[in-house]
Structure 1
Amino acid sequence: MHANTATSRQPIGGAESYFIRSGYRSRDRVEYFLDETDDTVTWQPDVYPYTAARAKELGRDVVIDIGCGRAGKLASLADEYPAWSCIGVDFGDNLVWCRDNHPFGEWIEVDLESAERLPIAPSLVRRSIVVCSDMIEHVVNPMPTLSLIRGLLLEGSAAAVLSTPARECRSGYDAPGPPRNPSHVREWASDEFQALLKASGFEIHYAGLTRSDDASNGLSTQLLLVGVGKAEREQR
């Protein structure tokens, strides 16, 4: 086992640190992440194909992308499944770019750190699966985003696919932070992120590692499939 993935002797943290271990330092603020790259590397190349596979299994034909950026991978999904509906959710220049450049999809602009609900028709939510790919590490307060995702699940979305860096694979469980990537506020170890999700009311159906990129093929990104309890959903 790589030294960075050795189990930490430190217990996971509590809600005040979003369950990250004691001693970790997050950024207090972060620059807006402008999703523009000219390189040939595809980051998290397997997250959207995984989402599509789950959508087909669950009989869903709407993909809601939370923090879609410039939606390059959502565009690839739309090309592969032209009968599906795609909804991208983001704010600022990335969302403006999507509206100006993508001939498909519905583009919803909301502040993902303050919005309490998303203006998506209930009929679409009930046909949907949610994806939130490597976005949660970019926000200072992740709780509103997680609440938005949970709200969609309670309204009838089948499941949510989440990805985020696995700190234990990149810098070690006990790395002091902040992350090397200047646009990341914090990075969770896998057990910390799962604790955050459980405390936020999610059921974890799958948790593993996926490729961070298609150049190194290193497994250093968390991939999770989450839902909410059936009884809780039926109470709505």
Structure 2
Amino acid sequence: MPERVDFDPELHFLTRGYTQRVPPEYFADTDASGIIWQPDVYPEVLSLARKHHRTAIIDLGCGRAGKLAALREQSPDLDIIGVDFGSNIDWCRERLPFGLWLDADLEAATALPLAPEVIARSVVVCSDVLEHLTDPRPAMRLICWLLDRGAACAVLSTPARDKRAGAAHVGPPFNPAHVREWTQAEFRAFVASFPVAIERFELTRSDDGGGGLTTQLVVVTRRGEHR
């Protein structure tokens, strides 16, 4: 018998009755634990950039860009574009001379001030960001905007609630900077509500300290493209 689906489109396809945290704490990317979170996401972004012969990475919600810096060390030919706001983007501008750092509110931005030829040679990443946004739909629309203008693909990651707290935990999340955490079925429904094609949907490591496969990794392309 198929599993009963009771997702609420007005709640970003979370299960009806889920309690979001509004407002969340601002996420200042200052973790000094030495743990690398989502260690496999950015290497996958680089692999996709090489596969599609792209030379620019656009990171929506880049934080303090430690993983972008590691990619740049590995591939000095990459053009790095980081997008964030507040103290995170100020930090990048002050300390990281290699990138273009754009101040943008991902809950409001409808476009980015980038030349069409830059977008057309890019891969987009939005790693563990959507769960921090009170309204994640504008960020998804911005991803669609970038794909429509020629970005090869976008890599999304977010916690898998069913693999962490459990699907029966209906919020708010334990992390005070998270508004919500989706199960895999909920997140697939949320992503599929936008004009994108889901190329891959899988689990990846949450960290390099033995946290297990509890992070969702999704690769999307422009709907209608065949790869």
Normalised TM-score (structure 2): 0.96
Q: Percent identity?
A: 47
Q: Are residues 1:91 and 2:85 paired?
A: yes
Q: Are residues 1:114 and 2:108 paired?
A: yes
**Residue of structure 1 equivalent to 2:196:** 202
**Residue of structure 2 equivalent to 1:224:** 218
**Residue of structure 1 equivalent to 2:12:** 18
Please provide the CA RMSD for this pair: 1.2
Measured after TM superposition, the shift of residue 9 of structure 1 is: 5.2
**Residue of structure 1 equivalent to 2:125:** 131
Moved over 2 A (4+): none
Measured after TM superposition, the shift of residue 101 of structure 1 is: 0.7
Measured after TM superposition, the shift of residue 212 of structure 1 is: 0.3
Provide Cα deviations, 1:55-95, integer angstroms capped at 9, x if missing partner.
Answer: 11111110000000000000000110101100000000000
Provide Cα deviations, 1:151-195, integer angstroms capped at 9, x if missing partner.
Answer: 000000000000000000001112120000000000000111111
Residue identity in the other structure for 1:89: V
What does 1:111-190 correspond to in 2, within 5 Å?
111-190=105-184
For 1:126 and 1:190, the matched residues in 2 are separated by: 30
Q: Are residues 1:55 and 2:49 paired?
A: yes
- List gaps (5 residues or longer) in structure 1: 1-7, 232-236
For 1:109 and 1:47, the matched residues in 2 are separated by: 23
Quick check: 2:7–2:186 contact (8 Å CA) kept in 1?
A: yes
**Residue of structure 2 equivalent to 1:4:** none
For 1:218 and 1:103, the matched residues in 2 are separated by: 34
Residue identity in the other structure for 1:212: S
Measured after TM superposition, the shift of residue 14 of structure 1 is: 2.7
Residue identity in the other structure for 2:63: G
Normalised TM-score (structure 1): 0.92
For 2:75 and 2:54, the matched residues in 1 are separated by: 12
Provide Cα deviations, 1:89-121, integer angstroms capped at 9, x if missing partner.
Answer: 000000000000112110000111111111111
Measured after TM superposition, the shift of residue 229 of structure 1 is: 2.1
Residue identity in the other structure for 1:194: R
Aligned length: 224
